[in-house]
Amino acid sequence: MAVSNDTSELNVGTGAAQAVSGAKLSALFAGTMGPLIGLVLLCLALALTTDTFLTVRNILNVLDQVTVLGIMAIGMTLVILIGGIDLSVGSVLALASMVMGYVAYPDYLNLGVPAGIAAALVVAALCGLVSGLLVTVTKLPPFIATLAMMSVARGLANMITDGSQIVGFPAWFTNMSIVRHFGFLSVTVGLMIVLAIVFAIFLNYRATGRSLYAIGGSAEVARLSGIPVKSLTNWVYAICGLLAGLAGIVLAARLDSVQPSSGVGYELDTIAAVVIGGASLSGGIGSIGGTAIGVAIIGVLRNGLNLLGVSPFVQQVVIGVVIALAVATDTWRRRRQ
């Protein structure tokens, strides 16, 4: 089959090196000039108006704060690229973290944190796969399929402990988000960066990644060209679910607790980050580089407004305005071309 990648995954290292050296790295950020300029201006403004923004400590804080959003946004980028949407990521995050707590915590199954993480990732991927199957087999619009999953996953998350939270994990687990190796890099931030790089390479240089762009551009053209549209769609939703689950584990490490009510509204933040990064909700346009910028804009904006002492309510207003502005300038720029 045209896009199979059977044994080649074994050679990721060498192949990736060749591929990246074959093209300019700037290709990863192609078409994201607008958001990038916005991010730079935002940073400049904050550097001038506060004396704390442009400190190493604060920048590291921002990185820590965006890990959950960043990991989810990678999965959402894939979904939006193929012309879909996933509203369930916030609920799947909560469900995955509850599964982890339930499996790991001494009062419940007491199987240890690694088993809990594994179970959480499996459940999260399955949630995504079910959404994908609802889209490809039952032919539900992605909006409806994932809206249903959003409700189901939230309900399941609450059912596990009847709505109560689970507090207290081993130190090595919470340290993953606290201890900064080499003086700057926590495990969770490192994980986010590695995932972003892996998926950026996947989207740019893997046949399967390029196929996602084709599906988003026109699913029928892709299908008639021999691309297995349905199975790739299932995979994309499963990976989006998996990454939402991973984000749930990261959140658990950051908070040293899991609660069924976590992640409410995260799907909207995630979609916002992807869209601010230049992705088109109709599919076919977008990149991990753009999404990284989108995530950074939201992270820097929240951080900066906090530093300036702006109330969280006003922050919501500002972020809403930024979303509208970002997409409006993008639309305007495309029309002019």
Partner 1 sequence: MSTEPRQSESPHNGLFVNGLSKSYGPVQVLADASFEVRPGEVVALLGENGAGKSTVSNIIAGSTKPDAGIIIWRGEPYSPANPAAAIEAGVGMIHQELKLLPDLSVAENVYVGRLPMRGGRIDRATMNAKASAQLKRLGLDVSPERKVRTLRVAAQQQVEIAKALALNAELLILDEPTAALGGEETELLFKQIRKLKAEGMSFIYISHRLDEIAQIADRVVVMRDGRIVARHERADIPVRTVVEQMVGRSVERMFPKLSPPGDKTVLEVENLSSPERSFNNVSFSVRSGEILGIAGLIGAGRTELVRAIAGADPISSGSVRVAGQPISLSGPAAAIEAGVVLVPEDRKEQGVVLEQTIGENLAIGNFDHVAPRGWVFPKAVQRFAEAGISRLGVKGRPNQAVGKLSGGNQQKVIIAKWVSRPPKVFILDEPTRGIDVGARAAIYDVIADLARSGMAVVVVSSDLEEVLGLSHRVLVLSRGRQRGILDRDEASNVAVMELATS
Query: Which one among 49, 151, 175, 225 touches partner 1, defined by CB under 8 A?
Result: 225
Query: Which one among 51, 220, 335, 336 touches partner 1, defined by CB under 8 A?
Result: 220
Q: Site map for partner 1, 184-213, x if CB under 8 A?
A: --------------------xxxxxxxx-x
Q: According to the binding rule CB under 8 A, does residue 27 interact with partner 1?
A: yes
Please give the radius of gyration of the chain, using alpha carbons only, rounded to the nearest integer.
Answer: 20
Query: Which one among 4, 164, 261, 311 touches partner 1, defined by CB under 8 A?
Result: 4
At its nearest, how many Å lie between partner 1 and the CB of residue 64?
34
Q: According to the binding rule CB under 8 A, does residue 23 interact with partner 1?
A: yes
CB 252 within 8 A of CB 97: yes
Cα 132 to Cα 138: distance, rounded to the nearest angstrom? 9
Q: According to the binding rule CB under 8 A, does residue 1 interact with partner 1?
A: yes
Q: What is the residue-wise DSSP string for 306-328?
A: HHTT--HHHHHHHHHHHHHHHHH
Query: Which one among 284, 286, 289, 290 touches partner 1, defined by CB under 8 A?
Result: 284
CB 54 within 8 A of CB 300: no
CA 325 distance to own-chain centroid: 22
At its nearest, how many Å lie between partner 1 and the CB of residue 325?
23
Q: According to the binding rule CB under 8 A, does residue 285 interact with partner 1?
A: yes
Query: Which one among 71, 79, 222, 273 touches partner 1, defined by CB under 8 A?
Result: 222
Q: According to the binding rule CB under 8 A, does residue 137 interact with partner 1?
A: no
Burial of 126 per CB tally in 10 Å (0-12, 13-18, 19+): middle
How many residues are there in the chain? 337
Q: According to the binding rule CB under 8 A, does residue 136 interact with partner 1?
A: no
Cα 143 to Cα 149: distance, rounded to the nearest angstrom? 10
Please name the residues in contact with 28: beta carbons below 8 A apart, sequence gap of 6 or more: 200, 204, 287, 288, 289
Residues that bind partner 1 (CB under 8 A): 1-5, 7-9, 11, 15-16, 18-19, 22-23, 27, 204-211, 213-214, 217-218, 220-228, 284-285
